Chain A
Amino acid sequence: MAFLWKKQADIRRMINAYLDTVDSCIDQFYESMKMFLVMGCSQEFDRKIEEVHKYESAADDLRRKIQMTLYGKALLPDSRGDILILLESYDQIPSAAEDALFLTKVLCLDIPAEMLEDVEKLVEINVEAYRRLREAMNTLFDNPNETLYQTRGVDAKESESDRLERSLIELTFKSDIIAGEKVMLKELIQLIGKISDLAENTADRIGIVAIKRQI
């Protein structure tokens, strides 16, 4: 029996390592975007994107390792299924961050000066939505009574991001940049906003996992 509990502890450690890696990925994303908004495309920006990619890949590897350990029957089927679904959902966030950076690099757009502040704010809100999601995930593993409260924080940030996203898209189409760039900028704004959308979806799943354990 002690062997089974050891497996549980290993999974817990692996999940923490995975979450830390995604944290680093999102931190690098934030720094990269801020750098782009100040300096535009640069070699330093490219190096930052590489860093994000490395963290995203490392998180993927850890997630697969957790999956394999879970398939080794370390938990009851119900708990196993919940963790697998949660990680699958969570893992879409670093991928979305990487996609947004990749598009930023490829398009290398000149964002109109009057929009820069709001785009930076959009990045901040989305990164904050992720951070609140991480808090919700922590409470699920440490203090489940707090989980639902934390997930509501993610919802609030997602709504804030939605509002700003819409206002930025309106500004984009009112700006003087050429039509093709307007479409591309709109796509970039939506891709940044996708981070909080995915965080909200994952937070909903966390809420369900927490509620399922309330009898």
Chain B
Amino acid sequence: MWQLISAFFLGWSLGANDAANIFGTAVASRMIRFWTAATLCAVFVLLGALLEGGRGIATYRAMSEVSLNAAFLVSLSSALTVTVMTSLKLPVSTSQAVVGSLVCMGLLEGSFNGQVLGKVVACWVGTPLGGMIFAIVLYFVVGKFMNGLNLNLFEHDRLLRWCLVLAGIYGSYTLGANNVANVSGVFTGPGMLTPLEACLIGGLSIGFGVLTYSKQMMMTVGGRLVKLDGYTAFIVILAEAITVHFYAGIGVPVSTSQAVVGGVLGIGLVKGVKTIDIKKLYAILYAWVGTPTICCAVTFLLYLFFSRLGLL
């Protein structure tokens, strides 16, 4: 059971970082208290993990089925990579770190399936694109609907506040559904956990991260999103949630942050303004290549270290 410590660590880190993409706007604009947002987020992350988290787990199992100690190393090296890169303010994605580590371990243990990796990488590229396309479509469709309502300033404000909370709830659900595989999916391969147990443990650890350590990130990321304005922030969150839900449906864990960047870019294209600087796009490119590469290297080093100790 001790091997699950690394999964808890990874889930906690994921919850602490990614909740900001979902409830950051509502919390930073003080329209909902942090504790209310964090509780809603934790509950719906768990619900999403339990109801729809299984497909992502199946994908990781198909990509590389590793032993129990190897699963521990995958989880540990991913958590370390994400934590260190986040503290160094480098772009990082948990999904991309886990895949980098899983590929490394799969190659070392001879269980790597390149075909599944191709599908996963294609989905990584599709994530910001999905965020962008959904944001553009939603901007016009939801906008047309809202224009038809002829809302005054206060009604408009009230509707947007509700929309932000509901989009946050949906985003939390999709975060759990999509990302739970990152946290505990590798432990289903060696048979330590059933998929349902993996979803439960993963969902709980992400929720724990949201409740204990996401406030600062919510204020920072949310503050940035708020600058978009209430309506476009809502569209970005909804586009992110739909994109991530789509990939949960086909069983590929993706980065919520990259879906958000795509959404913001889509808003910029629609409004003809520069909402994002080129550095953000480079950061995504870097995360696609850099995160799995670094995590792969960390996994390899940990593998050597644990092998020397005779633990593998």
Please tell me if the beta carbons of B230 and A145 are within 8 angstroms of each other in the complex: no
Can you list 30 A-B pairs, Cβ within 8 angstroms, ordered by A?
A1-B32, A5-B158, A8-B154, A8-B157, A11-B154, A12-B154, A73-B30, A73-B31, A75-B154, A76-B29, A76-B31, A77-B226, A77-B230, A79-B154, A79-B156, A82-B153, A83-B153, A141-B153, A142-B152, A143-B150, A144-B151, A145-B150, A209-B153, A213-B153, A213-B156, A214-B147, A215-B139, A215-B142, A215-B146, A215-B147
Please tell me if the beta carbons of A141 and B29 are within 8 angstroms of each other in the complex: no
Name B's A-contacting residues (CB within 8 A). Answer: 29-32, 139-140, 142-144, 146-147, 150-154, 156-158, 160-161, 226, 229-231
Known: A4-B31, A215-B139, A215-B144. A76 touches B150 (CB 8 A): no
Extra contacts besides A140-B152, A215-B140 (17): CB < 8 Å = A4-B161, A5-B158, A8-B154, A8-B157, A76-B31, A76-B157, A76-B226, A77-B29, A78-B230, A79-B230, A83-B153, A140-B153, A144-B151, A145-B150, A209-B153, A215-B139, A215-B147
Interface residues of B: mostly helix, strand, loop or mixed?
helix
Residues in A with CB closer than 8 Å to B139 are: 215
Interface residues of A: mostly helix, strand, loop or mixed?
helix
Tell which of A8, A12, A83 has the most Cβ of chain B within 10 Å.
A8
Please tell me if the beta carbons of A76 and B161 are within 8 angstroms of each other in the complex: yes
Residues in A with CB closer than 8 Å to B146 are: 215
Which 3 residue pairs are nearest across A and B when measured between Cβ atoms? A215-B143, A73-B30, A79-B157
Closest chain B CB from A151 CB (angstroms): 15
Residues in B with CB closer than 8 Å to A73 are: 29-31
Please tell me if the beta carbons of B231 and A215 are within 8 angstroms of each other in the complex: yes
C-alpha spacing A142/B229, complex, angstroms: 22
